[in-house]
Every structure is written in C-alpha cells, then in structure tokens.
Structure 1
C-alpha cells in the first residue's frame, strides 16, 4: 500500500485516527498508544493482503 512507503500518508492516517478517537470520547492520555496499535494492525493487514 502507498501509505506504508510515504511518511505523509502515515501522518494523514494518524490524524484521521486521532480525530475518530476524540469524536468517540477516547481518553486523551491513551490516544498515542491506540494510534500506534492501529498503525501496526493496518501494516499487518496490508502485508497479509499483499502476500
């Protein structure tokens, strides 16, 4: 996937995830860990689809 290779695409994805977390009342102090987890899951899913 394109976002795996470009930092700008990764940054955009982080912004979108943070917006969703804020929208649904996720605790602010846990957001960074949640964003990292979502990015890891997306990378794993993308690797599985590419294989």
Structure 2
C-alpha cells in the first residue's frame, strides 16, 4: 500500500515587490546623479574660469 500523504516541502518564498522601496531606490539614484552632474559642472566652470584668468 502506498502512502498518499504528501511530504512537507521547504517553502521557498520570494520577497514581495515593494513599490515604496523601488521608488526610494530610484529617487536616491536620481539625487546622486544630479549631485554628481552639478559637481562636475561646477568643477568645469571653475577650471575654465581659472584658465581664462591665467591668460
């Protein structure tokens, strides 16, 4: 006679999708990219003004 009961299987749960974490992540990435762009622009402006004054 065979045993008809199912063996308990390990539950593999995937973490649920979190819209709040996704928005927070991309918001922080956008802020970091904007800050890096502004810092680069400031650096270029300072270098070009410095080069113009030295001539």
User: Which TM-score tier does this pair reach, normalised by the shorter chain?
Assistant: 0.3 to 0.5
Structure whose residues are more often helix by fraction:
1
TM-score normalised according to structure 1 size: 0.44
Larger radius of gyration: 2
TM-score normalised according to structure 2 size: 0.41
Q: Which has the higher contact order (CA 8 A, sep 6+)?
A: 1
